Structure 1
Amino acid sequence: MFALLSLHLFMYGCNLFMWKSTRINYNFIFDFQPATALSYRDAFLVCTSLMTAVVGSMVLHLILLSTGIFPRQADFIPGILLLCSVLLLICPLNVFYRPTRYCFLTVIRNIVCSPFYKVLMVDFFMADQLTSQIPLLRHMESAACYFLAGSFKTHRYETCKSGKQYRELAYVISFAPYYWRAMQCARRWFDECNIDHLANLGKYVSAMVAAGARLTYARQPSQLWLVIVLVTSFTATVYQLYWDFVKDWGVLNRKSKNAWLRDDLVLKNKGIYYGSIALNFILRVAWVETVMKFNIGMVESRLLDFFLASLEVIRRGHWNYYRLENEHLNNVGKFRAVKTVPLPFHETNSGR
């Protein structure tokens, strides 16, 4: 759970570095205050601090268990780490990036309460991040059950897997990010009367159907459910790929002066865009392995699941750059922002 979160923070730090290097005005797009917005160095620092705390806790846990010192109390360490993380997130003191923490909590509130809040760019951008972190949310469910149900005392992990309420909750958690995003699309359609938002809503509905079919197939493997999974997942993937490339990135334009891209490009090397299109396509279809269960030898299934979840986080970080690049260029075209950083001096009246 912490590793996936740290990886996402690392990818966000890479996004901030690339946006700044290519002069994409992300502070304007997200409506961030430049004085308190995170820089890429801050994002890397948070990421490194988090993983240092996690690894340190793991080492301490293993030392206490191997030496026999407080073996029962050692099992509290993961719970203490999780509790400290939550308390730090909501801490009212002006430490550890309080403006950023409170901005994050506000955005999460807006997402969870969709469609009752007006949808801003940062809101639906964050909601898109959550759709790539469903495995993390599932791990949060398991961690909460593990500690609240007392499983950490007996080490009986199956307690949180055999209960009906926990199995049903898995559907809710898998649907929630897509539902929130769909409600944001509905609110934007209501506010702007743009039919594209209803089409985007359909994309998230198709993703919910595909996610539900995969969960059901994992519990009731049969030929019928396999066919349903393949049909729903293929439909959702084609829908998502079309929206990624045409709507979010603005590429695959046949009439563009840059073949199958768009007229305005921030990066000079066109090959990067073609490579990014191919990479996004490959990572989008990674779900095939979870359905077909290819023979991978001795690789443990949980490790493979973590690897696939990490690939989705990497894909989202990769998607983020081009999504904001396209938004920045659209702003420039509509005269809502400047394409280049202004010069660090003011023009003076020479009296001529």
Structure 2
Amino acid sequence: MSVFPLFLLQPALAWTTFRVGLYCGFFIILAIAFILSGAVFVRFENIWPLVRIYRGGFLLIQFLFLLGINTYGWRQAGVNHVLIFEINPRNNLSHQHLFEIAGFLGVLWCLSILSCLYSDYTYLPMQINPLILYGFMLLFLINPFKTGYYKSRFWLLKLLFRVLTAPFHRVEFADFWLADQLNSLVFVLMDLEYLVCYYIFELQWSNSRGLLPRDQDSGGHVCHSYSYGLRAVIQCLPAWFRFVQCLRRYRDTKRAFPHLVNAGKYSTTFFVVTFAALYATHRGRSQETENI
């Protein structure tokens, strides 16, 4: 198999470089603006719902930016990541493209938070802003039209599907690389789960500042507990993907080391999460009994 030389990879256009600088500049300015605004507007409210709802998006954007740094480092070191990940060598994202996407999403993230903080002036309920932000990010990913890095998005979606269906096909390098990244991004999944839970169980839709409730106005602490079970399942999912990938690799190669050893390593996550959930649930019930 011929190896596509790194120097033939398509360089980023000057317009892409300009957009990277533009988005990064806007992000820095808007980040300073929302930090100062938060210090002024947030006084006696409970800030944690807002923090947890937006934290996952920020971590995802940060991941894209750091992936761009990794890509730059790989190319500088002569690592042919395009061949390793089986990406189309004539149509792939450079580090500048990743910086551009991260910068653009970062600007939207900052604007969404500022819109939350200034909801009294924009006449847009605070709780609508995260839905718009994450809805746009989801549409950007699954957009079926051939715009916005269509082939790269399709490659990512295909890879995600392979991770979700790991036991039923051969596992390649890109598959377990992405599953490993999901293990690192488990807080993103947990925060997205918290977003859904909060909007269903705790958010008071009649309150236009529902993401900054006062303690006495909060609708309970369902989403901070394991009481409804889904939280523990979400927390175990990334480890489960790697666990079944390791079992599939053992089935294909018949090598106990390292595949069964890795499977055992990832299986410990199930015990950690299970006992943490049991402990948290038991402690919560004990406190309720003492209060009674």
Following superposition of structure 1 onto structure 2, how do residues 272-291 of structure 1 map, counting pairs within 5 Å? none
Identity %: 28
Task: Return the alpha-carbon distance in structure 1 between the equivalents of residues 260 and 116 of structure 2.
Answer: 50
* 2:133 alignment partner, one of 65, 73, 81: 81
Structure 2: segments with no counterpart, 5+ residues: 1-55, 211-217, 285-292
Residue equivalent to 1:262: none
Residue equivalent to 2:94: 39
CA 1:190–1:38: 2 relative to 1, 3 Å: same
Residue equivalent to 1:115: 167
Task: Return the alpha-carbon distance in structure 2 between the equivalents of residues 99 and 148 of structure 1.
Answer: 35
Following superposition of structure 1 onto structure 2, how do residues 203-222 of structure 1 map, counting pairs within 5 Å? 203-220=265-282
CA 1:42–1:119: 2 relative to 1, 3 Å: same
Task: Return the alpha-carbon distance in structure 2 between the equivalents of residues 147 and 219 of structure 1.
Answer: 22
* Other structure's SS at 1:119 match: coil
Residue equivalent to 2:238: 177
Native 8 Å contact 2:92 2:152 kept in 1: yes
Alpha-carbon deviation of 1:150? 7.2
Task: Return the alpha-carbon distance in structure 2 between the equivalents of residues 134 and 78 of structure 1.
Answer: 19
> Are residues 1:100 and 2:167 paired?
no
Residue equivalent to 1:131: 183
Alpha-carbon deviation of 1:87? 1.3
CA 1:183–1:19: 2 relative to 1, 3 Å: same
Query: What do residues 29-71 of structure 1 show as CA deviations (whole Å, max 9, x unaligned)?
Result: 1111122221111111111111110101111222232x3x525
* 1:188 alignment partner, one of 249, 259, 263: 249
Alpha-carbon deviation of 1:218? 4.0
Alpha-carbon deviation of 1:216? 3.5
Query: What do residues 79-106 of structure 1 show as CA deviations (whole Å, max 9, x unaligned)?
Result: 1111111111111111111111111111
CA 1:164–1:30: 2 relative to 1, 3 Å: closer
CA 1:84–1:173: 2 relative to 1, 3 Å: same
Alpha-carbon deviation of 1:187? 0.7
Residue equivalent to 1:70: 123
Residue equivalent to 2:192: 140
Task: Return the alpha-carbon distance in structure 2 between the equivalents of residues 164 and 213 of structure 1.
Answer: 11
Residue equivalent to 2:61: 6
Residue equivalent to 2:108: 53
Following superposition of structure 1 onto structure 2, how do residues 254-333 of structure 1 map, counting pairs within 5 Å? none
Alpha-carbon deviation of 1:110? 1.1
Task: Return the alpha-carbon distance in structure 2 between the equivalents of residues 148 and 100 of structure 1.
Answer: 33
* Other structure's SS at 2:84 match: helix
* Other structure's SS at 2:168 match: coil
Residue equivalent to 2:47: none
Native 8 Å contact 2:68 2:96 kept in 1: yes
Alpha-carbon deviation of 1:219? 4.1
Native 8 Å contact 2:236 2:270 kept in 1: yes
What code does the residue aligned with 1:32 have? I
Task: Return the alpha-carbon distance in structure 1 between the equivalents of residues 276 and 221 of structure 2.
Answer: 22
Query: What do residues 300-324 of structure 1 show as CA deviations (whole Å, max 9, x unaligned)?
Result: xxxxxxxxxxxxxxxxxxxxxxxxx
Residue equivalent to 1:261: none
Alpha-carbon deviation of 1:162? 6.9
Native 8 Å contact 2:226 2:232 kept in 1: no
* 2:75 alignment partner, one of 9, 12, 20: 20
Alpha-carbon deviation of 1:157? 5.5
Native 8 Å contact 1:75 1:152 kept in 2: no
Alpha-carbon deviation of 1:149? 4.6
Alpha-carbon deviation of 1:145? 2.1
* Other structure's SS at 2:119 match: helix
Residue equivalent to 2:215: none
What code does the residue aligned with 2:159 have? V
